[in-house]
Structure 1
């Protein structure tokens, strides 16, 4: 039987009048990898704080197995800024941490006696493997300068230091709050593999759905102050959660139908009621309680309109940017297309955010030009979040931008109604910004960006701190967004669902393109790595032959070319359909001169696009044959 590592019983927590946790009970067993799923503002981080022993509940209790060590990564980790990366990673006062710190310091010094003493201590404690493991983890997280003061690091780097410290401490139970935030895609994949292989007992909060699917064995959901447990990964959770909601709705529906009959009976019953009647009366009140239950979807409603997008979007010509000797962009050119869904990926520090700052005019280039279209209206969701005073009411933040918001259907609503669509209740709207949870602040920031009615939307790490349910709604909105979307994100699920092309920032100013989503790119990259390795092995083992070689057949399409061909086929079909529709409009005798001009311009644009795409389609098909 699996050992219970941690148990919470009837945990309650309030902050003033706000009840955050209500009678929460759960158990964590050895070797379970559990995710906690709930909407923003429902107390996920508060619960993790309590379970890790960093906070106390108002009532209820948390029991931890006596011989269990706990490693905790909070959403906003607190590091000693006066100390180095190494000192923060091995911050404990235990003999092992002290020995490793002394050894690393001795290597940096010229004191041979100190170095010998440090080596002897490492030998005595037999901790060489742990020191090597620590360096490996720090290297994966790009924290190679272990003596660098933490105060010189960015917020993302500090989060990685804290995560590395937790993993290196090798606890029995890991509690992680948003561990994938500030990790690039390769780091996320490494962490995914590490947690799966190490068979750690784990409790975490994360919005990364691929991570959830591949790492977790169990899901705990908090919904409307009720706790539900699912023994399976994220895909299983989605399936069973839908079943649970459908079953509950059916139960409420049956109760409502039965209630009508019982209400009629209650009206007809005489005053003198026997024992049987009393039993039925009690059942009536229970039935009414069931029938009056509400299943709130609590889904964000994003129905914001977008400004009209003209023919010309944005053209980037020979753009270059460096910081001292570090090259970010080198003579880079790109033309954005209408309704493009572009993802930007690359390791941290390769210039993704710098590129966004350049095309939005936030940062000047060293050379090159950025030529925006006349109708272009950019909205930029920044990784750092919004820059507003914390002591301002939520409603005032929105009213500062607009009192009235236009929706996609042409209707207008007030700032308060718009906030309500984003799950800010009237009470919450009059709360100060500083009292919001991290996820609620990000949701508020998102709505302030979208209410600008942009037609060119830039999202830099939009998935950080947003709950899974909000992300699902945001994805559906962006898929149908009538403009250009440019996304930087480490969330593979988000990228796969949304983008149809990638810019890959490879470092040193090198940028390449890929016609597909992130998973397709990774598959192609692995094929390339495998092919290169095979070619190197083959070239080493071969000796030159003087015999004439048979003529080689044409190479087949690469994975990227196959994806390009599939995409072209789909695009040509859509353009031909639109062309026929426009021909019908032009033959219909349009009276409006401006509308006629717009339609004619679009017809010319489609004709040119079709010509280019059909030419490329023929090239690829000839190559394939």
Structure 2
């Protein structure tokens, strides 16, 4: 069962300003939820808190199911395709891959029996961690995204791929992979129109729980079943959840602001009444000593 539960999460910036103020929402099993808001409102920071990369300064996050993450910037300079695929793999597979690489380098350097045995043990651990199953998945994903099998492109430099090819490859891997919960930071960036249509279809088809950030209105309209808006609050950015699709979002938001305006108008009216009452007591107190105590208490 995959879910994300965010309960009163707060986060402050180093300069003392509050970025996130008691953010709460839940993304239930199999749900597709979009996280939207202005640039700099804290959406990516919130995803990093949910992922465990940052510690919240208040509140708590709970998750059910394994988590797969597409970060805003998915590749590092000098990475190969294999490195990119490993970056979204299970941590056990990443550790096993690092051990295989180290053992292979040691064997090539010395070539003695001890190094060979260490390499054999690293390969066994790679298999136990699910590395060979991952390679089968990667072969399918590179064929779909790049048009070639993994053994032909695994050592290819990531920066030789377009931004859209990088995104498509990572999305193929996450959507076909074993993780039950996905968090995607602007997954539609750099995708061409056919790839965006492909992404929409896959998000609708997948049984996974998905929370994603996007500014693309078409993607939001076609895939999101709930909209979580990070917006300015009294002490920092808060979250408002619209429990339906993007088609009804703008009207719901307008209705919400209208209710706020009504509440503000009522508050202004009550404030004006209180000011008038205080002024009345003040005037009476000026010529009636019996009213002085009432004025002071008001």
Question: TM-score, normalised to structure 1's length?
Answer: 0.36
Residue number in structure 1 paired with 2:50: 51
Matches within 5 A, 1:346-385: none
- Partners of 1:230 and 1:139 in 2: CA distance: 37
How far residue 144 of structure 1 moved from its aligned partner, in angstroms, is 11
Q: Is the 8 A contact 1:4 1:27 kept in 2?
A: no
Asked if 1:250 corresponds to 2:246, the answer is no
Secondary structure of residue in 1 paired with 2:53: coil
Change (3 A) 1:144 1:210: farther
Asked if 1:71 corresponds to 2:79, the answer is no
- Partners of 2:135 and 2:166 in 1: CA distance: 25
Q: CA deviation digits over 1:317-369, x for unaligned, max 9?
A: xxxxxxxxxxxxxxxxxxxxxxxxxxxxxxxxxxxxxxxxxxxxxxxxxxxxx
Q: Is the 8 A contact 2:2 2:208 kept in 1?
A: no
Residue number in structure 2 paired with 1:12: 10
How far residue 184 of structure 1 moved from its aligned partner, in angstroms, is 0.3
Q: CA deviation digits over 1:554-606, x for unaligned, max 9?
A: xxxxxxxxxxxxxxxxxxxxxxxxxxxxxxxxxxxxxxxxxxxxxxxxxxxxx
Q: Is the 8 A contact 1:218 1:231 kept in 2?
A: yes
Matches within 5 A, 1:244-323: 244-269=256-281, 270-273=291-294
Matches within 5 A, 1:30-429: 30-65=29-64, 68-79=65-76, 81-83=78-80, 85-90=81-86, 92=89, 93-94=92-93, 130=137, 133-139=140-146, 146-147=153-154, 148-224=156-232, 225-269=237-281, 270-273=291-294
- Partners of 1:216 and 1:45 in 2: CA distance: 18
Q: Is the 8 A contact 1:133 1:168 kept in 2?
A: no
Q: Number of residue pairs matched?
A: 250
Residue number in structure 2 paired with 1:111: none
Q: Is the 8 A contact 1:180 1:208 kept in 2?
A: yes
- Partners of 2:230 and 2:293 in 1: CA distance: 45
- Partners of 1:220 and 1:20 in 2: CA distance: 16
Q: Is the 8 A contact 2:2 2:30 kept in 1?
A: no
Change (3 A) 1:152 1:264: same
How far residue 22 of structure 1 moved from its aligned partner, in angstroms, is 1.5
How far residue 247 of structure 1 moved from its aligned partner, in angstroms, is 1.3
Which blocks of at least 5 consecutive residues in structure 2 are unaligned? 101-122, 282-290
Secondary structure of residue in 1 paired with 2:260: helix
Secondary structure of residue in 2 paired with 1:94: helix
Q: Is the 8 A contact 2:137 2:173 kept in 1?
A: no
Secondary structure of residue in 2 paired with 1:238: helix
CA RMSD of aligned residues (A): 3.6
Secondary structure of residue in 1 paired with 2:30: coil
Change (3 A) 1:189 1:4: closer
Change (3 A) 1:137 1:266: farther
| Larger RCO (CA under 8 A, 6+ residues apart) | 2
Larger radius of gyration: 1
How far residue 194 of structure 1 moved from its aligned partner, in angstroms, is 0.6
